[in-house]
Structure 1
Amino acid sequence: MLHYPAAPSSELDDLGVAASNAADAFLPRYFARIGYDGPVAPTLEVLAALQAAHIAAIPFEAIDALTGAGVDIGADAIDAKLIGQRRGGYCFEQNGLFLRVLQAIEFEAEGLIGRVRWMLPDDAPPSPRTHMVVRVTLDGRPWLADVGFGATVPPAPLAMDSEEPQPTRHETYRIVRHGDIWQVAARIGDDWAMLYRIENKPPPAIDYELGNWYTSAHPDSHFRRQLIAARTTAEARYGLRDNRLTTRLTDGRIDRRYLTADEIERTLAEIFLLPVQRHWRPAIERAATAEIAG
């Protein structure tokens, strides 16, 4: 076994200052990105405000998976894409960023991973572990924070120690625990639709890498075949699936429209706030010709 000499205390102090300076620079950039200028403290009110601001400002999208560009979930790559380039991303990017933000504010927060069950029949075989969420503990109570689940993303923190329905500005949610598995569902109409099953134990980083590889590169991943984007504001949810744009208002009204390629491009820019890039055009044109069932 190799033994390395301990760094002098002055060097450790310098490292601490560097880490502090990095956090000081990171948070203002993130706050500017989501338009947040409220208090900064590890409280439930701040968590809820950050979650709402994040999902309104940073859209869910997986265009890099669709075009074959690949998705890098390293911290520097996520910051460059979601903050610097004002792009969106999917769960590993979105919740990876949100977790680091919360930890920088000194929330007691950790990442969890689970299996997506959205739109699957109850008897469907197990799906891969491809969804990351964040668990935040406040005064001993666990809360689920998720900013990366597309058009049904919870718009507010959800208490993980209660099986009672939890209303939000949009859908009502419910979390039921079965041993070491947390089952998260949303009420859609008169029925409960399961979103995902989350494992109780925080995974090693390699599990996120494997889940990200499957989501971004495996031929069975729907992100490799469909143009998908979503954004949730206080007033509405917007969801784009290939050429179909769905708008769900909080008063219950629903609007669905089918778009041409040019309209998809404008929608990505105007509704999903994305800096549309020229090399996306072939994927956009394919999406414009898609036939969507359901």
Structure 2
Amino acid sequence: MFDLDSYLARIALPSRVTVDAEGLARLQRAHRLAIPFENLDVRLGRAIAIDSASVFAKLVTAKRGGYCFEQNRLLLDALAAHGFAARPLLARVWLRATDVPGMTHSFSLVHIDGQDWIADAGFGGSYLPPMPLIDGAEAQGPDGARFRLTRDAQHGWMLLRDGHPGHTDGRSAGEGWEAQYSFTTDHVWDADLALANHWTSTAADSRFRQANIVSIILPRGFASLTDRHYSRRVGEDQSAATITDPRVYRMRMSLMFGIDLTPEETATLFAE
């Protein structure tokens, strides 16, 4: 049984949202403002469980973050508890891809009043607001970035972003329309998610095995910490630094991202 009250407290919402497009946007936004995107358990050698109970225990009870398979499992459960009709989808992330990428990203398809929407609480690259699944549909994020959905002859749908690269996790090549991820609406089974999650968390070629990655959206901006490189941008105000002291690293994790690491965890991550 999903503990909706505890989830709403975790994301600082005082009550349930309405079961409509506005409610979906409000729920996803609060979720992303409160729960950081992070892969630290992967880097600490821990298995990533994506069943509902494990995800809730980590992201809500233990107040940790997670990556897409965890974040969007939690969002799907919260949507179901509200009465939304939603199911998972898989996507290919195109940021900095040199060949057709694998399906290593999960997000949600939500059906509202006869219209399908995409919702994504687990895209660490930037903040994507919910969008209607309509060819040519556009949406603007609170940081000013624009997003567009287009039909793609080879890959089904393509999500594009046009915005300042400072409001991303650093993979953006610059301003102008840039492919984020592609997807189809084919049914995704639990086994598909398990396989994609296993590769993402264990394969040597996965970016989540290669760097410590943490990010969170801000009301009008974005903050990230990749290995020891910290970046924060709000509007036109941007700051960046390389952290050289593990005590500062631990403090930054706690104060900026809400992740409280033990001294032992900090030592392991800072040494990577």
Q: TM-score, normalised by structure 2?
A: 0.90
Contact 1:181–1:199 at 8 Å: present in 2 too? yes
- Matches of 2:265 and 2:26, distance apart in 1: 33
Per-residue CA shift, 1:243-266, capped at 9, x if unaligned? 1111121x2332211112222211
Per-residue CA shift, 1:107-143, capped at 9, x if unaligned? 12111001111222xxx22212110010112111111
Which residue in the other structure is 2:75 paired with?
Answer: 98
1:186 lines up with 2:170 in the alignment: no
- Matches of 1:265 and 1:119, distance apart in 2: 29
Q: 1:131 aligns with which of 97, 105, 124?
A: 105
Alpha-carbon distance, 1:82 to partner: 0.5
Corresponding letter in the other structure for 1:186: R
Question: CA 1:283/1:117 → structure 2, altered by over 3 Å: closer, same or farther?
Answer: farther
Q: 1:77 aligns with which of 22, 30, 54?
A: 54
Question: CA 1:279/1:198 → structure 2, altered by over 3 Å: closer, same or farther?
Answer: farther
Question: CA 1:118/1:283 → structure 2, altered by over 3 Å: closer, same or farther?
Answer: farther
Percent pairwise identity:
29
Alpha-carbon distance, 1:39 to partner: 4.1
Q: 2:38 aligns with which of 34, 46, 61?
A: 61
- Matches of 2:264 and 2:194, distance apart in 1: 26
Corresponding letter in the other structure for 1:60: F
Structure with max Cα Rg: 1
Alpha-carbon distance, 1:283 to partner: 3.3
Q: 2:189 aligns with which of 204, 209, 231?
A: 204
3-state secondary structure, aligned to 2:259: coil
Contact 2:227–2:270 at 8 Å: present in 1 too? no
3-state secondary structure, aligned to 2:6: helix
Contact 2:127–2:141 at 8 Å: present in 1 too? no
- Matches of 1:253 and 1:176, distance apart in 2: 32
Alpha-carbon distance, 1:241 to partner: 0.8
Per-residue CA shift, 1:139-186, capped at 9, x if unaligned? 1111111010114131x2112214143222121111112256221121
Which residue in the other structure is 1:166 paired with?
Answer: 139
- Matches of 1:202 and 1:152, distance apart in 2: 26
Alpha-carbon distance, 1:193 to partner: 1.7
RMSD of aligned Cα (Å):
1.6
Contact 2:249–2:266 at 8 Å: present in 1 too? no
Contact 1:151–1:238 at 8 Å: present in 2 too? no
1:256 lines up with 2:240 in the alignment: yes
Contact 1:227–1:283 at 8 Å: present in 2 too? no
Which residue in the other structure is 2:170 paired with?
Answer: none
Per-residue CA shift, 1:74-102, capped at 9, x if unaligned? 11110110011000000000001101110
Equivalences, count: 259
Alignment of 1:37-52 (within 5 A): 37-52=14-29
Q: Which moved more, 1:204-213 or 1:278-287?
A: 278-287
1:89 lines up with 2:58 in the alignment: no
- Matches of 2:268 and 2:136, distance apart in 1: 42
Which residue in the other structure is 1:237 paired with?
Answer: 222
Contact 1:52–1:233 at 8 Å: present in 2 too? no
Per-residue CA shift, 1:175-230, capped at 9, x if unaligned? 11225622112113441121111121121111100111111111111111211000
Q: TM-score, normalised by structure 1?
A: 0.84
Please, which runs of 5 or more residues in structure 1 have no aligned partner? 1-21, 288-294
- Matches of 2:63 and 2:115, distance apart in 1: 33
1:148 lines up with 2:122 in the alignment: yes
Corresponding letter in the other structure for 1:194: A
Please, which runs of 5 or more residues in structure 2 have no aligned partner? 165-174
Contact 1:119–1:193 at 8 Å: present in 2 too? no
